[in-house]
Structure 1
Amino acid sequence: MNLKTDVCIVGAGPGGALLSYLLAKQGISVILLERHGEIAKEFRGEHLNEEGEAILKEYGLFDKVEQLGLLRMETLEYWEDGKLFKTIYPDPKVGHLGIHVPQSHLLQVILGEAKKYSHFTLMTNTRVVDLLKDDSSCFYGVRASHKGKEFTIESNLVIGADGRYSTVRKKAGIDVTVRKHGYDLLWARIPAPLNWEPSIKMALIDGMQLSLFTQAKGYIQIGWNIPENSFPELRKQPFTPFIDKLIKAFPQLKETVESHIQSWQDFVLLDVHSNFTDCWGKAGVVLIGDAVHTMTPTGAFGLNSAMKDAEEMAKLLSKEKIEELDFAVCATKRKKEVEKLQAIQIEKEQNFATQFVIYS
């Protein structure tokens, strides 16, 4: 099987999905590839900031997502020894401190809009095996595999939106610089107690950050920083003393924590790192989102940055300009913004403990 399209986008996360929709809307034919069978995956960035909210509103998507369900954060709280000691409220002009949007809701809306165009195709359970390259070292498509059968997709442009471990980036031979941040992250999700207000709650446990993010549909996502590479040794230790620290920090969670976090297996480990690359593309290939600038979870910038990349890329592309795309134009503008955000993340991580100095 040999397919042809104007643009082949690899990775159906929010960045890849949004770009697919924006290009299809311009009359550009798009094939979007996703290696998973299920589009929405757990424990991914699901918090919109003002920038992400503005992008969705600009293209008439926000109201549709809200109809499916989202949740505006009303406060940012700092807790010590089970007591609240500092609360931050949103700017009245903004009205929230972030919005939780289940990724399934976001992608359902974006892809639903994209599917209205006959020249948009979504292929799930499909992974990229290699990139197609001509004699002049220009890339002109991908070799992919679906349920064990390989086929090719020829395209004028391949866009890698396939995450921090991007296959497109590797196959294009684009180097990446990885920065470790000294911690890993344990994720868990539990039902929220009755009358739990939409909020972000923070605590300091053994000098490390513990965060609670209220989610739509009545859940709380726990993000617990632990020293880098410490989990193999940590999980050899008794579980109860560890989880008791969570209950001590937030006593109101005692019942739901004890009911839903009963072993180390109830946590998901995230290897935390950020990365960046000076090269955002080569002839016939461009990278966006985590594929070119992985963010840490701090500040919830990743989702929003990926969508901003998609928006800027869509503005540069038209059916007539695909092959002449100067990706350096997009990279130059976005690179400065991303560098600024990654610097903010490092500052927030380094200064987190200072939020508790006054209380202590």
Structure 2
Amino acid sequence: MKIKTDITVVGAGPGGTTAARLLADGGLEVILVERKNEIGKDIRCAEGIDLPTVDQVVGKIPENLISWPIDRIFIDYADQRISLNAPGHGVILERYLFDKYLAQLAAKAGAQIMLECEINEVNLKDHKWFLSGNYQHQKISIESKAVIAADGVDSLIGKMAGINTSLNPRDVYSCAEIKGDISGREEEGALLISLDEKLFTGGYAWSFPKAGGLANIGLGIRGDAGGKCAKDRLEIWLNEKFMGVPRLSYLVGAVPAKKMEAISTEGMMLIGDAARLADPISGGGIGPALTSAQLAAEVMIKLWHKNELDKTYKYDDAWWNGEGKQLEQRLFLRNIYIANDKKLLKPVFEWGMKNLDGKHIDEFSADEMLLGLIKAVPVLFKMASSIVPTLMKMVFK
């Protein structure tokens, strides 16, 4: 089976479906391929996202796609808890429905969706991409002038195209998560972040609330943490914090935390987890997937009409000078934290108890928090001479 198209999008997660929709809206012929037999199936995600990002990229979404609004946030360390009010900032999605909704929008825009289509070879010849694989038990070959790779953290498309997508253990969070019923507990309906420099090495544990008293309960640790794996550490935390909670599902996964040298090559752009564009601190991937998809589509359409698909590096430049700048700054801070978590966690949390507990999240900005911490925490103050100049270079480069 042979097909010709303008652009092929590989991967039908939030990034891929969004890119397909925007490219089709831009007048291009788009094929969206997905290796699974159902969009939204086997989601490896805690399902949280901030509403402004959804509004910006997708628009107002139907209420049935939102499982629970994030109104309260708890941050635990040892036997202490910081409580924050945060209405209107974020939601926990029903990803199973959300992904299908985005695919529906892509189809309405004119994108052709092909399920059970797995690409196992890509080649660039005469400025065209040739993608080969299997489509519903038959061989398929797609000739495409451009490609958007949105095939997630396990991405092979970029690698096959010659882009260095490799990850060292330190560049990854290893994650494990269950869905449990926490009805009647204090944490019901609240977003919980739990910190422990020994158990959650370089990461944290979470409980993300869902409707009906359910919650996504999991943790992420540094890939090079050593010792017990994420699954075993999750069991320890569940026995400490959520003893007796019924477990309705279980999953494991990985979250990338790395700035790649390139997120494009001639006629191809990588987005979302395929480009390692997850939040290095929170681990959130839906937001960066949506915003990178939006930018990739915008740049691709411009290059298409100028017949300049060999200049996809403009996507890299636009990303790292725009949305990606904040991710780069957060990656820098994440690496500082990882190198000093045993020194930082306790004094930083104590500062939070004194200055943040009981407040609304809008009462302070990230800049105000950072400056307050540098002034109040001796370890951070000593490190400020190297941290601040580096951050300033990132901001004004």
Please give the TM-score of this superposition, normalised by the length of structure 1. Answer: 0.80
- 3-state SS in 2 of match to 1:310: helix
Aligned-partner Cα distance in 2 for 1:183–1:6: 36
Q: CA, structure 1 residues 294+229, in 2 after alignment: closer, same or farther (shift >3 Å)?
A: farther
Given that 1:76 and 1:89 are in contact with CA atoms closer than 8 Å, whether structure 2 keeps it comes out as: yes
Q: Please give the per-residue CA displacement for 1:90-109, whole angstroms capped at 9, x wherever unaligned.
A: 2xxxx334211122222221
Which residues in structure 2 correspond to 1:1-360 (within 5 Å)?
1-40=1-40, 41-44=42-45, 46-56=47-57, 59-60=58-59, 62-64=60-62, 66-80=63-77, 85-90=81-86, 95-117=87-109, 119-134=110-125, 136=126, 138-176=127-165, 178-179=167-168, 180=170, 184-194=174-184, 197-205=188-196, 206-208=198-200, 209-216=204-211, 218-226=213-221, 228-231=225-228, 243=235, 245-248=237-240, 250=241, 253-255=242-244, 257=245, 259-260=246-247, 267-295=250-278, 298-318=281-301, 321=305, 323-325=307-309, 326-336=311-321, 337-345=323-331, 347=333, 350=338, 353-354=345-346, 355-357=348-350
Higher relative contact order (CA 8 A, sep 6+): 1
Structure 2 portions without partners, runs of 5+: 354-397
Aligned-partner Cα distance in 1 for 2:179–2:280: 16
Please give the TM-score of this superposition, normalised by the length of structure 2. Answer: 0.73
Q: CA, structure 1 residues 47+150, in 2 after alignment: closer, same or farther (shift >3 Å)?
A: same
Instruction: State the Cα RMSD in Å.
Output: 3.1
Amino acid at match of 1:338: G
Aligned-partner Cα distance in 1 for 2:23–2:212: 32
Given that 2:280 and 2:327 are in contact with CA atoms closer than 8 Å, whether structure 1 keeps it comes out as: no
Given that 1:187 and 1:267 are in contact with CA atoms closer than 8 Å, whether structure 2 keeps it comes out as: yes
Given that 2:70 and 2:91 are in contact with CA atoms closer than 8 Å, whether structure 1 keeps it comes out as: yes
Aligned-partner Cα distance in 2 for 1:51–1:234: 33
Amino acid at match of 1:260: R
Q: CA, structure 1 residues 37+333, in 2 after alignment: closer, same or farther (shift >3 Å)?
A: same
- 3-state SS in 2 of match to 1:211: strand
Q: Please give the per-residue CA displacement for 1:234-255, whole angstroms capped at 9, x wherever unaligned.
A: 85xxx9xx7464344x3xx434
Aligned-partner Cα distance in 1 for 2:181–2:210: 9
- 3-state SS in 1 of match to 2:35: coil
- 3-state SS in 2 of match to 1:201: strand
Aligned-partner Cα distance in 2 for 1:123–1:244: 42
Aligned-partner Cα distance in 1 for 2:71–2:51: 14
Amino acid at match of 1:87: S
- 3-state SS in 1 of match to 2:243: helix
Amino acid at match of 2:31: I
Identity %: 22
Deviation at 1:127?
0.7
Deviation at 1:215?
2.5
Deviation at 1:332?
0.8
Total equivalences in the alignment: 334
Aligned-partner Cα distance in 1 for 2:277–2:299: 22
Aligned-partner Cα distance in 1 for 2:70–2:329: 24
Given that 2:7 and 2:145 are in contact with CA atoms closer than 8 Å, whether structure 1 keeps it comes out as: yes
More helix by share: 2
Aligned-partner Cα distance in 1 for 2:230–2:214: 29
Aligned-partner Cα distance in 1 for 2:230–2:98: 37
Deviation at 1:312?
1.2
Give the stretch that moved more between structures: 342-351 or 329-338: 342-351
Aligned-partner Cα distance in 1 for 2:103–2:275: 23
